[in-house]
């Protein structure tokens, strides 16, 4: 069944008009007909079935029928990563969504090369990733900030987890409730940024092996380890 994310409230018998992009996708890409059923979710009200209707020529609306999945509570997990090349940033956004991240903080660090970031596009990427992986929630994506500002914005009950390339060993993460994983850019964090991260209260350090991982690989690796509690 086709799944679509919407920011609208979902409830029985409500009529929802999809966005122009969604309408084009349903009509001209998937070629769905009247009375066919899709599902909708908004990250708050669970998942609902909706019937496609065409009240007028070239106009499409969705008639919401019933809830098929209640909204579930997710375990918080935060990803803070330095911006990298566009296609690799897109990959991080997609895979972070698939691996259960609840908040994403793009960062501009000293060695960040790519400094442009389209927040609206990023929000579309994570919404589409949630649609495809059958997740009921969509991560919150923040505007890019410096490493220092990102640390300040983190929830008080979260724990910064610093992915260090040259660490001798990893700290024990088993007692952490809300991790905030920090991943540097191509070339890694600068010496001053490494020092800043080590000086933060309650910061943990993780070592992912003897090889130097690309930023997108490191993100996927640490999030996979966290999701399956491989620590």
Residue 109 has pLDDT above 80, yes or no: yes
The CA-CA-CA angle for residues 195, 196, 202, to 5°, reads: 105
Residue 179 has pLDDT above 90, yes or no: yes
Yes or no: say if 41 and 5 are a contact pair by the CB < 8 Å rule. Answer: yes
pLDDT above 90 as % of the chain: 79
Residue indicated by tokens 């540097």: 184
As a whole number of angstroms, the distance between CA 24 and CA 20 comes to 6
Query: Does one domain contain both 24 and 117?
Result: no
**Strand order of the sheet with strand 47-56?**
3-5, 37-41, 47-56, 59-69, 15-16
Q: State the average pLDDT for the chain.
A: 92
Identify the residue with better confidence: 175 or 10: 10
Q: Give pTM, 2 decimals.
A: 0.92
Which residue range(s) make up the domain with 53? 3-69
Structurally, how many domains does the chain consist of? 2
Boundary-marking domain end, from 26, 51, 69: 69
- For residue 170, what pLDDT band results from cuts at 50, 70 and 90? confident
Boundary-marking domain end, from 36, 69, 102: 69
Structure tokens at 120: 């609206």
Query: Does one domain contain both 103 and 58?
Result: no
Query: Does one domain contain both 112 and 187?
Result: yes
CATH number of the domain that residue 59 is part of: 2.40.240.20
CATH number of the domain that residue 104 is part of: 3.40.1280.10
Query: Does one domain contain both 144 and 193?
Result: yes
């Amino acid at each position: 069944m086709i799944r679509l994310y919407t920011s609208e409230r979902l409830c029985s018998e409500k009529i929802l008009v999809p966005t122009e992009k969604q309408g084009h996708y349903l009509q001209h890409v998937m070629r769905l007909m009247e009375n066919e059923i899709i599902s909708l979710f908004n990250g708050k009200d669970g998942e609902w079935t909706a019937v496609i209707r065409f009240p007028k020529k070239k106009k499409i609306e969705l008639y919401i029928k019933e809830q098929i999945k209640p909204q579930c509570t997710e375990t918080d997990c935060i990803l803070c990563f330095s911006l990298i090349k566009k296609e690799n940033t897109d990959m991080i956004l997609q895979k972070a969504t698939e691996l259960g991240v609840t908040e994403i903080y793009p960062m501009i660090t000293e060695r960040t090369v790519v400094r442009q970031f389209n927040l609206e596009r990023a929000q579309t990427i994570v919404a589409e990733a949630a649609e495809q992986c059958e997740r009921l929630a969509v991560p919150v994506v923040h505007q890019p900030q410096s490493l220092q500002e990102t640390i300040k914005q983190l929830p008080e009950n979260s724990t910064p987890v610093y992915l260090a390339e040259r660490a001798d060993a990893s700290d024990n993460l088993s007692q952490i409730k809300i991790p905030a994983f920090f991943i540097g850019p191509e070339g890694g964090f600068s010496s001053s940024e490494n020092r800043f991260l080590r000086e933060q209260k309650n910061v943990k350090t993780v070592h992912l092996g003897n090889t130097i991982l690309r930023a997108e690989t490191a993100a996927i690796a640490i999030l996979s380890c966290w999701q399956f509690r491989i620590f």
